[in-house]
Amino acid sequence: MAKKATNKKQKSMEETLWDSANKLRGTVESSEYKHVVLALIFLKFTSDKFVERREELIQEGKDKYLEMKEFYNMKNIFFLPEESRWSFIMDNAKQDDIALKIDTALHTVEKNNPSLKGALPDNYFSRLNMDVSKLAALLDTINNIDTLRDKEQDIVGRVYEYFLSKFALAEGKGKGEFYTPKSIVNLMAEMIEPYKGVIYDPACGSGGMFVQSIKFIESHHGNKKEVSIYGQEYTATTYKLAKMNLAIRGISANLGEVPADTFGRDQHKDLKADYIMANPPFNQKDWRASDELTDDPRWRGYDTPPTSNANYGWILNMASKLSDNGVAGFILANGALSGGGEEYKIRKKLIENGVVEAIVILPRNMFYTTDISVTLWVLNNNKKERVIQLPDETRKYRERKDEILFMDLRQEGEPFEKKYIQFSPEHIGKFAKTYHSWQQTGSDYQDQPEYCYSASIDEVKGKDYSLVPSKYIEFINRDENIDFDTKMAALQTEFSDLLRAEDQSKSDLLGVFKELGYEIKL
C-alpha cells in the first residue's frame, strides 16, 4: 500500500522571505542587514505603486505626463526615475555592480521625493561587500511579492512588522531597542485610544506606536486624517527605519529634521499632544551633564531629574507636552515606581497634581531586550467628569482626580517564541475593558484580588507615595485555612510508612542474596 503523503505546513510569505534574507547572514551583521532587506522591500513596494499609477495615466491618455513627478505625488506615490525602478534592478540583478546600482536607486528615490529626506540607507550595499549570488537570490525572492495583491491586508506592512520583530529577536539583549513588542503597543493603544488629534512619541524607534495608532483608528471606524503625528529618534539607522515604515503605509509624520537626542535637541519644543505613546530607554545613565538642562522648561513646577537615571526626565518630558485634555501611556522599568531623592519629590508632586491615572505592571519576558518585568504608566490631564465621543461609541467619564488604578498582569499572557510572553487579543480586550470600566460613570467596575485595585490619593500618601502595585492590590493567602499541625502529623505518618516499606524491601533483597550463597552487610 502506498504511503500516504503527509500535509506539510505551507510557509507564509513572511517566513519564505525571512529564510531567503537569512542567507545573507555571515557576510553581513544582523544589525546591518535588516536595513538591506527592508530597503529592498521598500524599493519593490514603491516601484509597484509607481507602475500602477503609470498604467493609470496611460489608460487616461496622459502619456505626456508619465515622467512628471507631480502626477505621482498628487496621489501620494513616490516618483521613480528609470534607474530607481524595480524592473531596472532585476534586469541587472546578476551583475557584479548590482550593489552600486541599488545604492544609486535608493539615493535617486530620496533625492526626487523630499518627504523621504533622511529615510533611506546611504551606500549600505556597496559598503557591505555582499556576496553577489546571495544578494541576487534575495532579489528574486522579493521580486515574487505582489505588494499590491490585497490592499486590505497591508502586505508590505505585514512583512515590515514581521521582519522588525524577527530582527529584534535575533539581535537580543542590549540591541533591538528599535522595536516594542506588538501586543504591548496594542494594549497601550486600546487603553488610551488615540482616535483624534496630535500623537507624539519622544523615542519613536521604528515607528510602531504610530502604526498601531492608525490601526486603532481604522478598526474603530475613525478617520486617520484627523490625527497629526510627531516623533523623535536618536539613532540614525533607526530614524531611517521609522521613516520607511511610515512611508510604506502612507502615514505622514514629523520626526524632526534629523535624528537627535530628545533631551539635548528637542525638535518639538512647543508641541502639545493629545496622546503620547512611548517606550523610552530603561534606566538611561549619564543622560545629561550635572550642569546641563537644570533650568529646562520641561521640568517647570517639578524638581530637576537626577543625572544618574533618565526615567523621570522622560516622564517630565511627556507630562510637559500633554495638552489640557492629553493622555500619555508609556513603559518604564519598575524602579521608577518607588525610590527616593529627586525622583521621590517628582513622583509625589505628580500624584498630588492628580496626573497619574493608572499603573499597570507587566509580565516578565515580554521584551526582547530584557527579561525584567516593566510597568505601563498612564498620565491623564483630564480626570474630570466629561463625555467622550469616540468614532463608534459615546462614553461618560466620572471624576477620578483623587484615585489611581493599579493593575497586576504578571500572571497573564501566553507563551511566544518559546521563551517570551505576549498578550492575545482576548487578554488585551479584558485589560482595556477593566481600565475603561473604572473610568466610566455607572460602570460595574470592582476591585479584584491579585488583579486590580482603585486606590485613593490618601492611601497612596499613606504608603509614602509608592506606586508599587503589590502595596495596594489584595493578595490572597491560600494557606490561611490550613491546619498546619494536622498537616504536619499526616506528613510524618506518611514518611514513617515509606521508611518502613523501604526497610522491608531491603530485608527481602538481603534474603534473596543469602539464598544464593552471598552474605551482604549494610
pLDDT greater than 80 at residue 54: yes
Contact 126, 104 (CB under 8 A): no
What is the per-residue pLDDT across 82-120, written as a single tens digit (0 to 9) for each? 999 999 999 999 999 999 999 999 999 999 888 888 888
Contacts of 145 (CB under 8 A, 6+ apart): 13, 17, 41, 44, 155, 156, 159
C-alpha cell at 156: 508590505
* Strand, coil or helix: 442: coil
Least confident of 119-128, 338-347, 432-441: 119-128
Contact 475, 406 (CB under 8 A): no
Q: Of all residues in the chain, what percent carry a pLDDT higher than 90?
A: 50
Half-sphere exposure of 23 (CA within 13 A, CB side): 16
Spatial distance between the Cα atoms of 71 and 68, rounded to a whole number of angstroms: 6
Instruction: State residue 518 phi and psi, 5-degree precision.
Output: -110, 135
148 membership: H or E segment, kind and range: none
The domains found in the chain, sorted by start residue, are: 13-169 (1.20.1260.30), 175-471 (3.40.50.150), 481-522 (no CATH)
C-alpha cell at 514: 543469602
C-alpha cell at 326: 492629553
CA 313 to mean position of chain CA atoms = 21
Residue 43 pLDDT: 92
Higher pLDDT, 505 or 53: 53
What is the per-residue pLDDT across 291-335, written as a single tens digit (0 to 9) for each? 889 999 999 999 999 999 999 999 999 999 999 999 999 999 999
> For residues 255, 257, 261 and 263, what is the CA-based torsion angle, rounded to 10 degrees?
-80
Confidence label for 441 from pLDDT (cuts 50, 70 and 90): confident
Residue 1 pLDDT: 45
Residue 2 pLDDT: 46
Higher pLDDT, 143 or 145: 143
Higher pLDDT, 122 or 161: 122
Quote the mean pLDDT of the chain.
Answer: 85
pLDDT greater than 90 at residue 495: no
Confidence label for 232 from pLDDT (cuts 50, 70 and 90): very high
pLDDT greater than 50 at residue 5: no
Confidence label for 520 from pLDDT (cuts 50, 70 and 90): low
Q: Is the dihedral of CA 133, 135, 140, 141 positive or negative?
A: positive
* Strand, coil or helix: 193: coil
Total-model pTM: 0.82
Contact 193, 45 (CB under 8 A): no
Higher pLDDT, 237 or 196: 196
Contact 330, 279 (CB under 8 A): yes
Confidence label for 73 from pLDDT (cuts 50, 70 and 90): confident
